[in-house]
Structure 1
Amino acid sequence: MAVKRTGLGKGLDSLIPDNKPAAKAKKLEETPGQEYVMLNVNKIEPNRDQPRKYFNEDSIIELTESIKQNGVIFPIMVNRKDDYYQIVAGERRWRASKAAGLKEIPAVIKELSDLETLQYAIIENIQREDLNPIEEARAYKQLIEEHDLKQDEVAERLSKSRTTITNAMRLLKLDERVQQMIIDDMLTTGHARALLALDDGEQQYILANRIFDEKLSVRDIEKIVKELKNPKKVKEKKKEVNALVYQDLEVKMQEVLGTKVKVASKGKGKGKIEIEYYSEEELEHMFDMIVSLRRGE
């Protein structure tokens, strides 16, 4: 296999040590860089634990056309297995190379543990901003659960803050349908974090659809969530408004009848009106007024 070198820089290599040479290949150039070899594309397979699960078909088509014109500029990274090579970083380039009809692809060969392989893949995708928020969160969770790491250790290995790891993983508490909406770019992470205040998955999903349909802002969502979590306060506010309306009616009726009037609500639009009188003559006077009002006089 022909061996070449390319100026990839330290980047990912500086974060995970190269355990030992994976291929005895002759160097063609002595310039500083990363050694790579040309591998048969059919001897390479994707990593089933690759954190990136969704590939934009349009971008793959664009990359395929670019590779047809210019070739593969940056080698992919693979892990040596028994009888094949497993992709660590660069699955998109490998897919596009196959679509472009290439028989071989430049690759940097590593010998990594499962933990190092996953770590490499996460770092590469994060650096390229290829992971959506849910893929990133699931990758952190995978590191913690499958490799018995703590959040602090994940943060240190990936050069992230612990807060970043924690906030990312909180998105996995959302209803799965809402998570899919984030993956499909129908919701922003800001909207998603506002929905986390709701414990009920159905409420999350209903409100998520309102966000998409009504183009609601994050502030709108925070307000709606607050009302959903504190329905009593909303009812109390409505009672206060109704009380003011009743008070206004009492004043107006007192002005017409010339005596004290009290309006009492029983709810559901029902209630009673109390009119005070202080003599039989006053009662007869109010009666005549009511009758005349009814007759329209």
Structure 2
Amino acid sequence: MIGLAAFLIGVITGVQSRIPVLESSLIETKDRVKSLEISIRDLNIELSNSLKSQEFLNKTLNEERDTAKKDALNSKSTITKLHLELSESIANNKLEQNKIFLITGEMIKLKNKLAILSNELEASEIKRKLTQNKLENELVTLSLKLSEAISKNVKIEDDAKLERIAARNRSLELKKIISKLRFDIKKYKLTEPEVGIIKKGSENKNNNEVTDVFSKSSPLLVGPIRQGIEAYNRSDYVKAYEIWLPLALDGSKRAQFFIGALYFEGRGVKQNIIRSYLWLHRANESGDKAAPVLIGRLKKIMSPAELNEVQRRIITKDSLPIK
């Protein structure tokens, strides 16, 4: 029995020495082994007592032997089970190690990816700052342009306001001239579009003299010129324009003067100071004596821009008015 107990103790000790790394998972097994050791110690005690009492040993020997055999069988079964558990634990440990290896590989990949993302984030941050600086510079530039545009807009509005005031004054001046022309028509009973043309020096206080260049020769005029005059006197200004225009284009200084007068008054056509000036300029070049007087009046009411335009067209030979 002592030899059997020693054998069991040696087996258990050998198993324990082989599985120190699995102590945490074999706590229950160790408890069982400890219980078995206690049982074996109890047997040793009983064996010692049996040596003192041969009779008791003889009586109980068979029973103890059977018990020992059963315990041995149980121990062998337990050891086999422990071996199986140990093999399974080793296999599981290998699987866990492989799993840990795979997880470690994934962690390394994730660290590398994190490093790449960090670099990309840093580059993106640098790019964002550069873009922000660029946008801020563009914003400053746009603000300056906006301020400049606002200043220009204010200047344009001021210029437009001055232009409107000048146009209003010019319109009032035109109305005064037209009113004077109509007054002259009634006062002197003139029948020509150039009525009211006052000769140089006629603004004196004692001025009662009106020079009507055309009226002196108008009784001698016949044909289309006279037909246009009659249409004009009937207030059929469109008809007068249609009669005089072909004659003016053909070089008739009288017709050229009349067309200029119609554009000046805005009768039969839309009022156009520039076209009026150009027709009167052609009439003046053709030798019409009344044209310079009306040209002088036009210059007083025309803006600098309008005077520049007519001078440009005259200089560039683009002075032929169109319908």
Q: TM-score, normalised by structure 2?
A: 0.20
> Which has the larger strand fraction?
1
Larger Rg belongs to: 2
TM-score (norm 1): 0.22
Which of the pair is proportionally richer in helix? 2
Higher relative contact order (CA closer than 8 Å, sequence separation 6+): 1
